[in-house]
Amino acid sequence: MTRPYIPTRANDPYGLIWFETRPRYLAGGGDPRRITQTLRAAGWHNLSDPDFPHVVLASPDRSHSLVLEPQPGPYGRWWRIHGRHEQRSWYSEFGANTPVEILGALTDALLEPVPEHTEDIWSQLTAAGWHYQRDEHGNEDASHPDGHLRLRRFADDALGFHWLAEATTERHERVWTGWLEDRMPPHLIAAFTKALASDEPVQRARADVPHLHLVTQEERGPQAEKLAAEHAARLKAVRATARKSRRAAAQSTPGVPAAIASAPRPAARR
C-alpha cells in the first residue's frame, strides 16, 4: 500500500526556501534531527514511546541519555540531557528556541573521546569580542557585544555553581535559555560555548525565526538538495566512526567476534 502524502515538517528540507541566517543564536530551534539522527547514527538506542510526542535516546552503554519533549509554550524545557562522568552524574536542559547547531556541538562532543586539553571557556568568548567580568564571590559573566546573548557561571546556595546561557530580545524578553551543571565534563561546556560564540550562519526558513527583526537573512542559502546531502554525509561519517570504535573495542575485549562488532547499525532515515 502506497504511503499517502501527509504535510509535516518531517518532510524538510524539501518544500521550503532556506536563508542563511545571522546571528545563529536568535535563529530559532531548527530541525531537531540534526541532533537526534546523529546520535542514532552513532548507535544510541531509541527508547521513545511511539504514542507519545517525545524522543528518548540512550547511549549504547546507558551512561548518557537525551529527551526531546515539547512543553507548553516556547520556553519550556524541550531538551534534557543526562550523563555520567567519573562516577558523577550531571544534567543540562535547553529551551525550544535553542538552535540545534549550538546544542548539537555539545551532543557531538558526547560521541568523541575526552580531549587531553580543553580550551578555556572564557577565552573563547573574549576572543570573539564578548565582555567578561568576575566578582569577588567567583561568579563569572560574559555578554555578547550586541547585548542579546549572555553566559553566566554563578553559585546557588542549594545547587552550587552552575551555568546559564540566555538569549533575549532588545526588551530583555527571553528567547531561549540553557542550564548546565558545573560538574559536567569541561570539554562539553567548552564545545557548547564555542558554538555559542560562532558567527557562522545557520539555515532557516522565514517562519522558523521567532523574532525576524533581530536577524539578517541572506537572499538565499543552500537549498533542499544540498542541505539533505550535507546531512546524509554527516550521518555517514558518524556511522563510520562508530563502526571503527566498535571494532577497536572488540579487539580489546576477548570473545567478541570482529564481524559482530563491525556490523552496521540500522540507518536513521531522513
Residue among 180, 208, 201 at smallest CA distance from 94: 180
Cis upstream peptide for 13 (omega within 30°): yes
* 203 strand-pairing partners: 20
In the predicted model, what is the mean pLDDT of residues 128-142? 95
Listed residue (180, 195, 178) closest to 125, CA to CA: 195
Q: Using one digit for the tens of pLDDT, what is the confidence trace for 213-244? A: 999 998 787 889 999 999 999 999 999 999 98
**Interval 6-38: pLDDT, tens:** 888 888 888 889 999 999 999 999 999 999 999
Helix (H, G, I), strand (E, B) or coil at 236: helix
- What would the pLDDT profile of 75-97 be if each residue is shown by its tens digit? 679 999 999 988 889 999 999 99
Specify the DSSP element, H or E, that contains 244: helix 224-251
Q: Does pLDDT of 257 surpass 80?
A: no
**pLDDT above 90 as % of the chain:** 74
pTM of the model: 0.89
What's the pLDDT band for 254 if we cut at 50, 70, 90?
A: low
Rounded mean pLDDT of 151-165? 89
Positions of E strands within the chain: 19-22, 45-46, 55-58, 65-68, 77-85, 88-95, 131-134, 140-143, 149-156, 160-168, 174-181, 202-204, 216-217
